[in-house]
Every structure is written in C-alpha cells, then in structure tokens.
Amino acid sequence: MLTASSALHIAARMPRRPKNSLGPLILYHGCDREIAEAVLSGKETLQPSENDYDWLGPGIYFWVDSPNRALDWAKDRKKRRPQEMGDPSVLGAFAYPGNCLNLTDYGVMDELALAYRATETIFKTAETPLPVNSDRRNGIYLKRQLDCAVIQMVHELRRDQEEPPYDTVYGVFEEGSEVYPGSGFKDKTHVQIAICKPEMILGYFRVDGMT
C-alpha cells in the first residue's frame, strides 16, 4: 500500500487499459546449462529477478524471439561473473502476455508519468533521494533504478485502486553502438518481457545447440 496519501491525488486514477492483443510469444532465457536442464525436467522453476535496476521491474525476464541475444547475455555473464554462470545456455518458453503493460503501445507512457509523480511525492515525503538511472553507455542507461521504481509504483497503484494487476511488462530496449554513422539504430537493440505472474508461462522447450 502507498505510504503517502497525497500520491493518490497526484496520480489520480490509473487509466483503464484494455487487455492487449499480444498473442502467445516464443521467448528465450539466458542461464546456466544446469538450470535449463533442471527446469526442463520439472525439478526447478525460474525465479523472478528483483534487482533495483531491472528496467521492467520485478519478474522473470525473457528475450522475445531472440535465442542468440539470450546466449550472448549468458556468455557475457560468464565473463563478468564466472561464479554465477558455469556453462552458458538458453531455455525456450511459450508464454501468454495476458494483461500486459505494453510499453510499445501508444499512450501507455501517460500511466508511467502518473506513477512517476506518485513515486516522486513518496520519496520527497520520506526525505529520501529519488533513485536515478545509471551506467550510461552510448546514450543509453543500462541500469534503470528510477525506471524500476516507477514500474513498481504502477503495480502498487493498481493494487491500491483494486485494478486488475499486470501479468507481464513488455518493452523495447535500445542498446549498443550505432549500426552505421548517423544511424538511429543500435546494434544490440532487443525486445524483452518480464513475467510477473509465472502462470503465464505455458511451457518450456529445449533450444537446439544451446542447451
């Protein structure tokens, strides 16, 4: 629940958004091979990420339609944190987005702007510094502490106002260097989804050559 009643007056009511039309998606999760095999065998389930810099907020993260990007992430993870990644692998999944906070949908940013105002008010009331995005590279913030806090506020406002919760959060992440001089495209741009409600995952599958 909110800790500052004035936040509700600033945010007003979050807009009612229809259940979007995104159909079942083919998703890919970069992970250690042992984890992929354990999930495929039904011995384990994927756990949600809850880092304060996760750009789509808390959830189980997948790349949409991009097994190679998932594998690149796993390989990079092994280089940076070898103690957390043994044998880089990729786990495939089918999932239904359900009631999705689709950040590619026109007008959805109004909801984030309202949530930001509520977040700002709560931090000011608590006399605590507002989170800031960090690790800026090629004009893009790679660690999104502020954005994570705002997404979390979206979820909290919906709970407080008894609106249907979002099952997933979906968005495009621009990343990397210019594809060519003067380009508006980045070479690592990808689409990700954070699944807040694990029941939206319909099932897992083995990715040839990656598990």
Which token pair is 29?
A: 């999760």
CA distances to 44, 77, 154, 158, 204 from 27, rounded to whole Å, are: 18, 19, 24, 26, 9
- What are the sequence ranges of the domains in the chain? 6-206
In the chain, the amino acid numbered 200 is: M
Model confidence, pTM = 0.88
pLDDT tens for 141-155 read: 999 999 999 999 999
Mean pLDDT over the full length of the chain = 89
* Residue 187 · residue 176 · CB < 8 Å: yes
What pLDDT digit, counting tens, does each position of 99-115 carry?
999 999 988 999 999 99
Give the confidence band of 211 by pLDDT, cuts at 50, 70, 90.
Answer: low
Task: Using alpha carbons, list the distances in angstroms from residue 172 to 64, 97, 169, 193.
Answer: 10, 15, 11, 9
